[in-house]
Amino acid sequence: MAENTTSQSVWSQSLSVKTQFGLGVWLMRQTRGQLAYFIGSLIAIIAQSVLMTLTTKIFANFLNTKLSDQMTTTTRNLVIFAAIYSSWRILQSIFSYLYTFLLGRGAIRAQADIRMQIFTKLHSLGMRFFDQVPAGSLVTRTVNDTSTFWDFYFFIFSLFSALSLIVGSFVGLFLSNVYVSSWLLLIFPIIIVILFVYQRFSSSIFRGMRAKLSELNAKIAESISGISVIQDFNQEARFSDDFSRENDNYFHARYRMIRADALIDISRDLTGGLALALAMALLGQLSLNNAIAAGTIYAVINYISAIFEPLRNITNQMSVLQEATVSAYRVKNLLSEDEYDPRQNANATGKITRGKIEFRNVSFSYDGENQILKNISFVAEPGQTIAFVGHTGSGKSSTINALMRFYEFDSGQILIDDIDIRDIDPKSLREQMGLVLQEPFLFYGDLAFNIRMYDDSLSDTAVATAARLVGADKFIDKLSNGYQTLVNENGAGFSAGEKQLISFARTIAHDPKILILDEATSHIDTASESLIQESLLKIQENRTTIAIAHRLSTIKHANLILVLDKGQIVEQGTHAELISKGGYYAELIALQNKA
């Protein structure tokens, strides 16, 4: 799945009405756990509409019978009228509060549930998915896209509120004057045509506007990420010109959206004015034969206003529906993603107890076509260190990806402790394999947390022991807060070497049977590397170690060195044996010594 391509192109394509309806249904299904809140909100909406219809009719009758002239207008009647009006406003406020509160509570909970679904889904997907999808787009799916669902739920309920008010208003109109109401029904086709044309016209403009906004954001991100290169090549002016063009494109797209919104506002207000003028003309015609009571005029005006006021809210929120629909499209696609971790066999209960590793004619590809590993075979006995060397792209990291079950291999067999890796309990597989990557990652928290990694069974002593084994205690003890020193995002403020040492300590603290080092010392300076080499030799005791090394000097002690080229083992042996052969490995050593 090419998420970055999909997320951009979705703005340039027109989703069918059927697709949009299906996405709306899907979003509403996500509210199943919050039905009580949404049903309560619906009841409040209906109560508001009924109250508006009845109170308008009551006020009209009151005006016609109690306040029609000086003879019937008494202080008592005025007090009653004021009391009725006050009661109506109080009840309207109560129902409005219940509607907003219950809908808001249900919407924010449904939004949080969807966000949790996404987060859980992401942690079930395989590494292949994350290799194809930028992290930024996944953050957008989880945070930005789900934030539009709140507006979607409010739009849907605003639509229901508008419909209930329109129905209630027409009921009130017919009760007030059937003749006028019948003529006003002619306005409805005009309203429907206006809304239909606006929806089709504005959706195209809105998609274009969002596409231009995405391009603008991409240009900003690119300029910030590559600011050092831009300044180094003195290209600030040209990038500024490029950004100016993108900015102008977005401006014009946004201007078209504003113009469309202005047109719908004018059309809606003109239609509302036409309806009111028609009603007044009809009432005027009727008054030529019989006087029209003031209460009836009040009711007609009030009901017409109640019809067109919610329409104003609906048209103003049409863009919300467009954005939420696209967001739902992307989130639903993510939740249906099936690029899972490689699956273990049914009843996989095997345990890793010694750490023996065996590859038997293992072949592997990322795309199912171009093989990266070709018939790889080797055996690592418990406690041995096996090193992989070779040029970039030779298949070193791919070997680890297959061993760690990040990817499914195509053919052959991988055994651990003479058990097929697919028959090993996934928990044991993760617990007994310790991986240290080339790029260390530290989480927000303190240093002790980053070593402990949510494992509360690790005591402070165990944390300190792990740090001491890899030499991390040397710099930690110099910090004023020691192991309680706060770590900011991705370890900002710590050197690359210090972050890697913490990563080492994190792995060793969990005491795995198998240690995997993927060029783990490449970011550590020479002084730090010499400091931890002795510690690494100690922690490798009684552990099977698979090491990928950029600096060949760090794997001289390995029991077996496998030299890879184009996915095949071209040489193997100890450091001394391979040097004496004067082959591929010896050439690599010579090249590094020259450098």
- Across the range 535-547, mean pLDDT stands at 82
What's the pLDDT band for 535 if we cut at 50, 70, 90?
Answer: low
What's the pLDDT band for 575 if we cut at 50, 70, 90?
Answer: very high
- Across the range 502-516, mean pLDDT stands at 90
Own/partner pairs for 423-428, CB < 8 Å, 24+ apart?
A: 423/344, 423/345, 423/348, 423/349, 423/350, 424/344, 424/348, 424/350, 424/351, 424/352, 425/344, 425/348, 425/349, 425/350, 425/351, 426/344, 426/348, 428/350, 428/351, 428/352
Check residue 95 and give its pLDDT.
Answer: 93
What's the pLDDT band for 263 if we cut at 50, 70, 90?
Answer: confident
Residue 420 in 3-state DSSP?
Answer: strand
- Across the range 486-508, mean pLDDT stands at 85
- The pLDDT tens digits of the residues spanning 102-116 come to 999 999 999 999 999
Q: Length of the chain, please?
A: 595
Alpha-carbon gap, residue 274 to 279, rounded angstroms: 8
Alpha-carbon gap, residue 41 to 44, rounded angstroms: 5
Check residue 203 and give its pLDDT.
Answer: 76
User: Which of 433-437, 505-509, 588-592 is least confident?
Assistant: 588-592
Q: Compare 265 and 414 and report the one with higher pLDDT.
A: 414
Residue 471 in 3-state DSSP?
Answer: coil
CATH architecture of residue range(s) 16-335 = Up-down Bundle (1.20)
- On the question of pLDDT at 252 being above 90, the answer is yes
Could you tell me the fold of the domain covering 344-432+514-520+543-595?
Rossmann fold (3.40.50)
Q: Which secondary-structure segment (H or E) carries 514? A: strand 514-518
Structure tokens at 172: 């009130």
Check residue 416 and give its pLDDT.
Answer: 96
- On the question of pLDDT at 63 being above 90, the answer is no
Could you tell me if 395 and 372 are in contact, meaning their C-beta atoms sit under 8 angstroms apart?
yes
- On the question of pLDDT at 12 being above 70, the answer is no
- On the question of pLDDT at 340 being above 90, the answer is no
Check residue 527 and give its pLDDT.
Answer: 64
- On the question of pLDDT at 528 being above 70, the answer is no
What's the pLDDT band for 44 if we cut at 50, 70, 90?
Answer: very high
Alpha-carbon gap, residue 496 to 525, rounded angstroms: 9
- The pLDDT tens digits of the residues spanning 159-209 come to 898 888 888 888 888 888 888 888 888 888 888 888 888 877 777 788 788
Nearest-5° Cα angle at 549, 543 to 554: 75
Name which of 260, 252, 159 is nearest 213 in CA terms: 252
- On the question of pLDDT at 7 being above 60, the answer is no
Which of left, alpha, beta for 405 (phi over 0: left; psi -120 to 50: alpha)?
A: left
Most confident of 328-342, 392-406, 410-424: 410-424
- Across the range 217-234, mean pLDDT stands at 85
Ordered by start, the domain boundaries in the chain are: 16-335, 344-432+514-520+543-595
Question: Mean pLDDT, the chain, as a whole number?
Answer: 86
Check residue 432 and give its pLDDT.
Answer: 93
What's the pLDDT band for 6 if we cut at 50, 70, 90?
Answer: very low
- On the question of pLDDT at 359 being above 60, the answer is yes
3-state helix, strand, coil in the chain (%, to 5): 65, 10, 25
- The pLDDT tens digits of the residues spanning 95-152 come to 999 999 999 999 999 999 999 999 999 988 888 888 888 887 788 889 888 998 998 9
Check residue 2 and give its pLDDT.
Answer: 44
Most confident of 301-315, 325-339, 536-550: 325-339
Q: In percent, how much of the chain has pLDDT > 70?
A: 94
- On the question of pLDDT at 498 being above 80, the answer is yes
Alpha-carbon gap, residue 403 to 414, rounded angstroms: 7
- The pLDDT tens digits of the residues spanning 388-407 come to 998 888 999 899 999 999 89
Check residue 170 and give its pLDDT.
Answer: 86
Calculate the alpha carbon distances from 491 to 96, 227, 458, 485 in Å. Answer: 48, 22, 22, 11
- On the question of pLDDT at 537 being above 90, the answer is no
Residue 511 in 3-state DSSP?
Answer: coil
Alpha-carbon gap, residue 494 to 505, rounded angstroms: 15
Q: In percent, how much of the chain has pLDDT > 90?
A: 35
- Across the range 410-421, mean pLDDT stands at 95
Alpha-carbon gap, residue 97 to 103, rounded angstroms: 10
What's the pLDDT band for 3 if we cut at 50, 70, 90?
Answer: very low
Judge if 16-335 and 344-432+514-520+543-595 fold alike in CATH terms: no
What's the pLDDT band for 1 if we cut at 50, 70, 90?
Answer: very low
CA-based radius of gyration for the chain: 35
Q: Compare 549 and 576 and report the one with higher pLDDT.
A: 576
The DSSP secondary structure of 527-550, one letter per residue, reads: HHHHHHHHHHHHHTTTSEEEEE-S
Give the residue carrying structure tokens 């919407």: 107
Q: Compare 194 and 527 and report the one with higher pLDDT.
A: 194
> What's CA 448's distance to the chain center, in Å?
29
- The pLDDT tens digits of the residues spanning 422-461 come to 999 988 998 899 988 888 888 989 999 999 988 888 899 9
- On the question of pLDDT at 62 being above 90, the answer is no
CA dihedral sign of residues 102, 107, 112, 118: positive
Neighbours of 220 (CB within 10 A): 13
Q: Compare 67 and 198 and report the one with higher pLDDT.
A: 198
Alpha-carbon gap, residue 481 to 483, rounded angstroms: 6
